[in-house]
Amino acid sequence: MLKKHTKLAIYLEDSLGKPHGKMGHGVLRYSPNPVVAVIDSKQSGKLLKNFINSERICPIVESVAQARALGAEALVLGTTPPGGFMPSAWYEPIDNAIKLGLSVINGLHTHLGERYEELNENQFVWDIRKEPQKLSIGSAQAAKLKNKRVLFIGSDMAVGKMTAALELHRAALLANIRSEFIATGQTGITIANKGIALDAIRLDYACGAVENAVLEAQSADLIIIEGQGSLVHPGSTANLPLLRGSCPTHLVFCHRAGQKTLASASHITIPPLLELMRLYEELTYMSGSYARAKTIALCLNTAHLAPDAAERALKELEAETGLMCIDPVRQGSKKILQQIYPAF
């Protein structure tokens, strides 16, 4: 749906630098498309680098009209509200975007295609969270592949699984490894311009959808699968389809430094990380049905910490788990790549 030269504006009203702005933050960090503006009226005129660790340089503006004046051609809805449904306050700026000739990229469960049917020839509405056609149930065909398949898992939702996966994909490509990134959520799909919106797929077909995506990428030497949710989270159903559909050979565990309970359910304590990692590994094994995947690294999200505090947190968790522990945004992912390809 999205051409690489299309100029983007990212709608991040009251979300810039906040956890629920992760869609926009991901596009800012990793999209190949030019971004001409971020829209957040509360932060208008400020510097982007004060809110997000990104090499991207673009202004923060107050309105869709200002973004359009800067050359924006498509509006990315960069915020994911609780539940993934469209807040009523968003319709006015989206209506304005359509009137001004912008396309709209929508990662929410609320679809916009039917609302905006009369578009000009250069406009589109991309509702990302739609179920693919021609789905089937899983059959563990990925287990027969000879390549390496790395699935990113974690202790909670929104702890950095997609970011860590994209950093590893970037490192692999720089090392001239034939790598494919399989996006399974709206942000990854927007960045890669392909993938499966796993939370929009009926449960019976979710495993098959993951399997099909992996099989389509089977010519790659390294397949990197974006993780979703957590086994700990009562609202997450994505882990078993991801594990069974991809039949991973390696696991990378993601966690936010210092987090003890689930972010959206503080009454639920995150279990000891090693126990949780072993549970994921046992599920890949499936009582001997498949090869056992090994957790090769722990990616720690330290975005909320100063550099010295981040370094201490990394060392403490490395000592606690015995695993290599890195923050891929601060440090890159070359060390993870070396765990998969020791000769690299």
190 in the same domain as 80: no
- Residue 63 confidence (pLDDT): 97
The single residue listed with the structure tokens 């974006």 is 226
Q: How does DSSP assign 89-111, residue by residue? A: GGHHHHHHHHHTT-EEEE-SSS-
> Which whole-number Å values give the CA distances from 331 to 307, 310, 317, in the listed order?
11, 11, 16
Residue 133 lies in a domain: no
The number of beta carbons lying within 10 Å of the beta carbon of residue 334 is 16
- Residue 109 confidence (pLDDT): 94
- Domain with 184 in it: what CATH number? 3.40.50.300
Give dist(CA 123, CA 142) in Å, integer.
38
Which ranges of the chain would DSSP assign to H, the alpha helix?
22-30, 64-69, 91-99, 161-174, 186-192, 203-216, 239-246, 273-285, 307-321, 328-331, 334-340
Model confidence at 285: pLDDT above 90: no
Domain count, the chain: 2
- Residue 287 confidence (pLDDT): 59
Residue 108: pLDDT band with limits 50, 70, 90: very high
279 in the same domain as 210: yes
- Over residues 144-158, the pLDDT tens digits come to 999 999 999 999 999
- Give the mean pLDDT of the chain: 95
Residue 117: pLDDT band with limits 50, 70, 90: confident
Model confidence at 39: pLDDT above 70: yes
Judge whether 298 and 273 are in contact, CB under 8 Å.
yes
Model confidence at 236: pLDDT above 80: yes
298 in the same domain as 171: yes
231 in the same domain as 92: no
176 in the same domain as 271: yes
174 in the same domain as 85: no
What number is the average pLDDT over the span 102-111?
96
Residue 132 lies in a domain: no
Give dist(CA 133, CA 147) in Å, integer.
27
Q: Give the three-class secondary structure for 170.
A: helix
Residue 1 lies in a domain: no
Give dist(CA 257, CA 304) in Å, integer.
8
- Residue 288 confidence (pLDDT): 63
- Residue 325 confidence (pLDDT): 98
- Over residues 41-90, the pLDDT tens digits come to 999 999 999 999 888 999 999 999 999 999 999 999 999 887 789 999 99
Per the structure, the complete domain to which residue 270 belongs is given by: 141-340
Give dist(CA 319, CA 212) in Å, integer.
39
- Over residues 293-338, the pLDDT tens digits come to 999 999 999 999 999 999 999 999 999 999 999 999 999 999 999 9
Residue 17 lies in a domain: yes
Domain limit, last residue, from 66, 98, 127: 127
80 in the same domain as 225: no
Model confidence at 1: pLDDT above 80: no
Domain limit, last residue, from 80, 105, 127: 127
The single residue listed with the structure tokens 């800067």 is 70
Give dist(CA 220, CA 216) in Å, integer.
9
Q: What percent of the chain has pLDDT over 70?
A: 99
Give residues with Cβ within 8 angstroms of 79, minimum separation 6. 11, 12, 13, 14, 15, 20, 21, 23, 24
* Amino acid, res. 93: P
What number is the average pLDDT over the span 32-41?
97
Q: Give the three-class secondary structure for 140.
A: coil
- Domain with 53 in it: what CATH number? 3.40.50.720
- Residue 231 confidence (pLDDT): 96
